[in-house]
Amino acid sequence: MAAGLLTWAVALGAVRAVAHPEFCPTATAHNTRAAATAAVGWFTRNQQPDGSWIYRYDKERDTIEAGYNLVRHAGVIMSLYQAAHAGIPGALAAADAGTEYALRRLVRQEDKTAFGTGRQLSAGASALLTAGLAERREVTGDPRHDDLLASMGRFLHGQLTDEAAILAYWDRETGPIPGYFSPFYTGETLWALARLHSLFPEDGWDVPTRKVAQYISTSRDDAERRFPPISDHWAAYGIAEIAAWPSRTHDKPASAPASPPAPALSHTNTSTKRSDSDLSPLTPANIAYAIRTAGIFGVQTRFESQRSDHGIQRWTRGPYAPGSGLGTIGEGMAALWRAGRADPRLATQVPGGLDRMAERATCAAGMLVTRQITASEAAGLQHAELAQGAWFYRGDTQMDDQQHALSALLAVSQILEETVREKSGSPIFSRRKPALSHPVIAAPTRRGTPE
Amino acid sequence: MNQTLALVAAITAVNPARLHPALPAARENRKERLQIAAIGALTATVGLGGIALVAQNVNDALDVSAATTRIAVGVVLLLSAGRDFFAAPISPVPSLISPPLLSPSRTSESTTGTAGTAGTVKTSLATGLVPLAFPLLLAPGLGLLTMSASIDEGVFFATAAAAFALSTVVGSAFFPSAEPESVLACATTGAARFCAALLLLCATGLIVDGIFDI
């Protein structure tokens, strides 16, 4: 009897060590938008005259650290155009200034254009700049960059291998450098090409897009990195974009009228809803990949929500993730939610359905809201303008922390708005616990944060 | 949680082959063996039904998602499977060995009088409760699995799966225990290890399922 009780005690202890409480602070359309607005404020305050941004700030030492990353520069431009699309003041001007910075660093060769400096340029910077300028095209209707978009698309297309993998780098003298791949450039390129097809449906961008999507869905993990599977929010963006394309024409009778063009933007994708018989261009392999990826974002959200700055979790779960890491989880899950809205196969096959995906994305956004440095928290610092609206990780913040967090907040804000609109009630995804106010906790290194 | 996985996990968590040597199988009276096994299984089912009933509320109170619970239960089942596989078979529990020890005045279970039958039933009841129902059947692995299954698949399924798994113990009570060192004893041990290996697979499946759930 005593041995039985002891066994139970040990087992419950093991359960408690594995299953920590999950804190999902309440996220609403209002507080996520407010946090997104504060993040845009960080970019507008900390933009240099040449259009670049403060790259990294260490608030413990009160120093602005040297270094810059053009892939992340392009990512920030893209996020700010998303914010402009959501109507956040100041975002468009800041993004345009960032674009001017990028336009001064273009490399043209024949009919291709790449963004970067030095002898070797990454595919990722051009892919994200393409995605950003495509967003700008949608927001403003301004065609001034259309030729550039097509030219960068051709550059990205040139990076495809026969297997539809994306070569990560391009050399000015020798062209694409074989044998080097990036965990994120492939997804970024997928998204960029998918957006080009949404913008210019007659130009044939769907062909390479489908090839890359199929490669990512079926071969990428085996070919490039088997374990752990890549948590690829960029691929999720790409999947969502493809899902919003017009329906597969070969599934329709030949006499059927052409489908109306789908909204091209990631933001407008959420309004794309199809019936069960109206399939998106996603293949079954794409759907299966989306479900697997949603699972990765799901466990990451749950793990992150178990982190705490006190109690046993401090030791078993480690410190809070950087804003960039947490932001990508929210971005990825929200993108897959949009894909699920556009393709009923995904919505019905994913465990827990769209509601579960929305709940996890909202959880990530709630954590972002509570971990953002508010004006009052920044007031006591010497350089409040560098802290307010930012997310810190072990005392420092990097511009991609704000970038990914901003994109996630915007995406979740839209989920919440649409959900409220549809269900005519208060947000259903706020979890049980009231909002917490966690101080920002540092972690040992900033390694492997996504670009 | 896949229902088939949950059911197989429940049966292997009970592991009737491992439990068999400890059961009333030592008794020569099949009827009494069955009585004790039935009482134990029924009591455990009621207990597990109670766990299934409160599972969702407990999980909510602890702020743990169903998927995370599944991972935690998988870990506990892994430990159980390891114990079942490597540990020696359960020794016959003293109170389950003939003659019953709870009633010193009774020396044989062959008593046929009214008082004797009442005594046997009373003894069977006590033995069926402790140690059979608890701690042998109401063990953490099965208890927590029932909790997780209830959250994922509902109270009815979880209770029914647990009841079905426990019924295998009653089924095993039809057979007397094998003589030590006999071929049958070896087969029983082998079957217990097979169950443990299967439980290990189920536990891994639960963990993977929990990790890749959303």
Q: What is the pLDDT of residues A10-20, one digit of tens each?
A: 999 888 888 89
B62 CB within 8 Å of a chain A CB: yes
Average pLDDT, chain A: 88
- Domain around B11: 3-212
3-class secondary-structure state, position B208: helix
Question: Are the C-beta atoms of A389 and A36 separated by less than 8 Å?
Answer: no
Whether the CB of B79 is below 8 Å from some CB of chain A: the reply is yes
Structural domain total, chain B? 1
- List the alpha helices (DSSP H) in A19-90: 29-45, 70-85
Which DSSP letter does residue B24 get? G
Provide, as residue numbers in chain B, all residues whose Cβ is less than 8 Å from the Cβ of A356.
Answer: 214
DSSP designation for A202: T
Q: Complex ipTM, two decimals?
A: 0.80
A4 part of contact set with chain B, CB < 8 Å = yes
Q: For chain A, count helices (H), then strands (E).
A: 18, 8
Contact yes or no for A166/A189 (Cβ under 8 A):
yes
Q: What is the average pLDDT across A377-386?
A: 90
**Candidates A20, A360, A432; nearest CB to B214:** A360
Task: Please state the rounded mean pLDDT for residues A23-43.
Answer: 97
pLDDT at res. A405: 98
pLDDT greater than 70 at residue B119: no
Task: Confirm if A301 and B68 have CB atoms less than 8 A apart.
Answer: no
Sheet holding A175-176, edge to edge: A120-122, A169-171, A175-176
pLDDT at A331 over 70: yes
A302 Cβ under 8 Å from any chain B Cβ: yes
pLDDT at residue B105, rounded to an integer:
40
CATH architecture of structural domain A22-247+263-423: Alpha/alpha barrel (1.50)
- The pLDDT tens digits of the residues spanning A199-215 come to 999 999 999 999 999 99
Q: What interhelical angle do A185-199 and A146-158 show, nearest 10?
A: 140
What per-residue confidence (pLDDT) applies to B28? 61
Question: What confidence score (pLDDT) does residue A440 get?
Answer: 28
Nearest to A441 by CA among A298, A304, A297: A304
**Interface A:B, Cβ pairs < 8 A:** 87
- What pLDDT does residue B25 have? 46
Domain ranges of chain A: 22-247+263-423
Find out whether the peptide bond into B135 is cis, omega within 30 degrees of 0: yes
How close, in Å, is residue B214 to chain A by CA atoms?
Answer: 4
In this prediction, residue A446 carries a pLDDT of 47
Distance of CA A220 to the CA centre of its chain: 19
Question: b/e string for B53-88 if b means 16 or more Cβ within 10 A?
Answer: eebeeebeeebbbbbbbbbbbbbbbbbbbeebbeee
Closest CA to B143 of A390, A335, A4: A4
Q: Does B75 touch chain A (CB under 8 A)?
A: yes
